[in-house]
Amino acid sequence: MGGEYVVCLGIIARMVDDFLSSGSNLNLSIRLIEAFLTLARTKQFSIAAEQFNVTASAFSQMIARLEEVVGARLFERSTRSVELTREGEVFARGAHRITAEVRATLRQVREIAGSEPRIVAIAAPPAFCGAWLPKQMEAIKKKHPSLLFRLHDAFSNDCLAMVRNASVDFGLNSVAGDANEYDATLLVNERMYVICPADDKLAANSSIELKELAGREITHMLPSGSMWQRIHPWLAEVGAIENGIHVTHMGTLAGLVASGFGIGVIPATAASLSVRPGVKIIRIRDPKAFRPIYLIKRKNSPLSAGAQLVWNQLLAAATNEITMESLDLPDPPAAAESAEDHPQGPPGGAGARRARREAGR
């Protein structure tokens, strides 16, 4: 890794020296780097040229010019697509850092110069954007009314990417990221809950232990997501059963559970998306049943004054743990008929649907 980093610095330095010695405008070098990143992302000249708002011929000349300046072939061309060479992969890491630094620096300079309002861009988990974060943003706005927010609800990997390429000032994320790329500070721990049908045997409890999920069918978030990666080892350890259903959104999970498709595990902030007739949300009291939420920013990259202010305010507002009670969420709406009226579940409810599925097996 260290050797590749030195190679990368050498390539960038050689490119800058070439531009300086040739009298070229350094702004053009940034444009060439952005063209390179566009092609690396799209892997097709025609699409990259369209996104870059130039003709395919002009775009091809830009890439050729960049490779000439760098002194290395950055792409392998084929009739269908292009792929990065080994040199291109090394160059890409430096290119991402350069463009991120330029974006961040421009924001800071413009903020200081007063040419644009103090805008703070934040990426955070979707459930967090809908529950805990808005209240904190409202409190900050009351103290600093000139501050503007750009909020991006993003899953874990997307959040890391947005922080890395400076699309946002910082992120809130359940994964701290690579310590070589990010500075991470623990903000808060978020309690985990089970969501189950209202007629489920677990629904009579105000809290449960993970071991009570033994043998139960679980509807999961996507395996690529941080939620699945955190809770899957716990559930496997106690003998919970995967039902093969994986979803992207917490609201989808709640709808499936309400329809009798297993039970799920959700963080406290997702409860606001999951409160509905026909389900019960129950606290998991095991000490380890939480997910951490970190404040993350690019490694060794100072925040703008506005972003630093918001960062500090969020840290000051955080408690030891976020729970449904601390979020002051409403109780689930009452179902038309209670579970006591129908021990197997209300007509057409989760219990009835489970019974029909089992009868058809």
Q: What is the mean pLDDT of residues 300-320?
A: 90
In a domain, 208, yes or no: yes
Region of poorest pLDDT, from 28-37, 71-80, 94-103, 350-359: 350-359
pLDDT at 152: 95
CATH classification at residue 128: 3.40.190.10
Do 174 and 273 sit in the same domain of this protein? no
* pLDDT category of residue 329 using cuts at 50, 70 and 90: low
Q: Which amino acid is at 330?
A: P
In a domain, 15, yes or no: yes
In a domain, 220, yes or no: yes
How much of the chain exceeds pLDDT 70, in percent? 80
Do 204 and 334 sit in the same domain of this protein? yes
Do 204 and 333 sit in the same domain of this protein? yes
CB burial of 293-322 (b: ≥16 within 10 Å; e: otherwise) equals bbbbbbbebebbebbebbbebbeeebeeeb
Do 195 and 341 sit in the same domain of this protein? yes
How many domains is the chain partitioned into structurally?
3
In a domain, 82, yes or no: yes
Give residue-wise pLDDT tens across range 3-22.
Answer: 444 444 444 445 445 444 54
Do 150 and 204 sit in the same domain of this protein? no
Do 39 and 51 sit in the same domain of this protein? yes
In a domain, 103, yes or no: no
**CA distances from residue 165 to 99, 103, 190, 303 in whole angstroms, order as listed:** 7, 9, 27, 14
Residue 269, token pair as written in the block: 């902030």
Q: Which amino acid is at 274?
A: S
Residue 56, token pair as written in the block: 């395919």
Give the CA dihedral 122, 128, 130, 134, nearest 10 degrees: -60
358 pLDDT exceeds 70?
no
Do 230 and 352 sit in the same domain of this protein? yes
DSSP-assigned states of every residue in 131-158: THHHHHHHHHHHH-TT-EEEEEE--HHH
Residue 356: how many CB atoms within 10 A of its CB? Answer: 11
Give residue-wise pLDDT tens across range 103-145.
Answer: 777 766 766 655 445 789 999 999 999 889 999 999 999 998 8
Q: Give the Cα separation of 275 and 353 in Å (integer).
A: 20
DSSP bridge partners of 150: 121
Do 35 and 69 sit in the same domain of this protein? yes
In a domain, 108, yes or no: no
Do 14 and 80 sit in the same domain of this protein? yes
Which phi and psi angles does 165 have, rounded to 5°? -95, 10
Do 70 and 150 sit in the same domain of this protein? no
In a domain, 7, yes or no: yes
- Choice between 198 and 6, residue whose per-residue pLDDT is larger: 198
Do 229 and 311 sit in the same domain of this protein? no
By residue range, what is the domain housing residue 9? 2-98
* pLDDT category of residue 99 using cuts at 50, 70 and 90: confident
CATH classification at residue 69: 1.10.10.10
In 160-211, where do the E strands start and end? 170-173, 182-197, 207-208
In a domain, 44, yes or no: yes
Do 282 and 241 sit in the same domain of this protein? yes
Q: Give the Cα separation of 35 and 64 in Å (integer).
A: 11
Distance from chain centroid for Cα 254: 20
